[in-house]
Structure 1
Amino acid sequence: MGMSLADQIPDGATVLIDTNPIIYLFEGHPLVAPFEPIFAAVDAGRIQALVTPVTLSEVVTGPLKAGKEALAERYRQAICAGNGWSLREIDADIAVLAARLRIRHRLRLPDAIQVAVAVHEGCHALVTHDRDFHGLTDLLVLGVKTPGQ
């Protein structure tokens, strides 16, 4: 058996978790499988998970659109309640860094914000299922195999 994504993260590290893996976890989607060891490592206290307001907004959109207020609140609590998870607010430094990263890597603004928070906070990696991060050189991207990997 090969190395899991979590095996690539040292003990005590912080990773920024992008939206899709969290949605996969909450919805029990089959695509959560490669990310499960990371979520288990967070639950065990081996690593810390960081999320942004972008992720929180994207995660609760589906339940809110379906009129499931209680489910949206449960998702919010799961992300913001601690237990290895923390939400990093966006400040002026992160906003300017996001603009620079957006220009350098031709990222959409939400993606640039994700990367800016991860870089600013010294995250070991960005955990994602989004191929838009494939050319990123500012930090380790874990989750999606891209051509040449």
Structure 2
Amino acid sequence: MGWVEALDGRVIALDTAPFIYYLEEHDVYLPLLDPLFASVTDGTVRVITSTVTLLEVLVAPRRRGDDDLVDRYRQMLLDTRGVEVHPVSEAVAETAAQLRAEHTVRTPDAIQLATAVCGHASHFLTNDRRLPSLSNVEVLLVDDLLLAE
């Protein structure tokens, strides 16, 4: 059973990097992420992320004046069935503050992890090795999944 099939029926939180790798068709990571986004499209897996992701993915295309890529990111995050962008609610802010108090983690990363916790995600997909392990959300690193393939 592949890593994506093991996530069937679950809520998975995604950090910013997997969206960038997928939408910008990163040569190394796209083959790994294609099955995940296919599972989202067919409703097998549900993805959540924070509004921080929207902020982060739009910066580079806006700097370059790439309105097409801005539109594609907005469509993927805001209009794709199976992808939910969660705002920074009071519960997310409180959880992020607790994560920052317990771990050396930057505010955007704490918000992303808190979104996973508050959104009842079973896993958090990232490529940031600096993020802490959590007892209630399994952190998956894209690079580690790639090595395991």
TM-score computed with the length of structure 1 as normaliser: 0.87
Structure 1 distance, partners of 2:140, 2:32, is 10
Q: Percent identity?
A: 33
Corresponding position of 1:135: 133
- Quickly say closer, same or farther: Cα 1:129–1:119, change in 2 above 3 A: same
Q: Is the 8 A contact 1:126 1:139 kept in 2?
A: yes
Work out which of the residue numbers 22, 25, 33 in structure 2 matches 1:25: 22
**Residues 1-149 of structure 1 aligned to structure 2 (within 5 Å):** 3-11=1-9, 13-30=10-27, 31-144=29-142, 145=144
- Which deviates the most, 33-42 or 50-59? 33-42
Structure 2 distance, partners of 1:38, 1:110, is 24
- State the number of aligned residues: 144
Instruction: List structure 1 runs of 4+ shifted beyond 3 angstroms.
Output: 134-138
Equivalent AA in structure 2 for residue 94 of structure 1: V
Extract unaligned runs of 5+ from structure 1.
none
Extract unaligned runs of 5+ from structure 2.
none
TM-score computed with the length of structure 2 as normaliser: 0.87
Post-superposition shift, 1:134?
4.8
Structure 1 distance, partners of 2:77, 2:98, is 27
- Which deviates the most, 111-120 or 136-145? 136-145
Report the secondary structure of 1:123's partner residue: coil
Deviations 1:45-92 (A, max 9, x none): 101111111111111111101011232122112111031111111111
Equivalent AA in structure 2 for residue 24 of structure 1: Y
Structure 2 distance, partners of 1:34, 1:109, is 28
Report the secondary structure of 1:95's partner residue: helix
Q: Is the 8 A contact 2:49 2:86 kept in 1?
A: yes
Q: RMSD of aligned C-alpha atoms?
A: 1.9
Q: Is the 8 A contact 1:5 1:34 kept in 2?
A: no
Structure 2 distance, partners of 1:120, 1:134, is 16
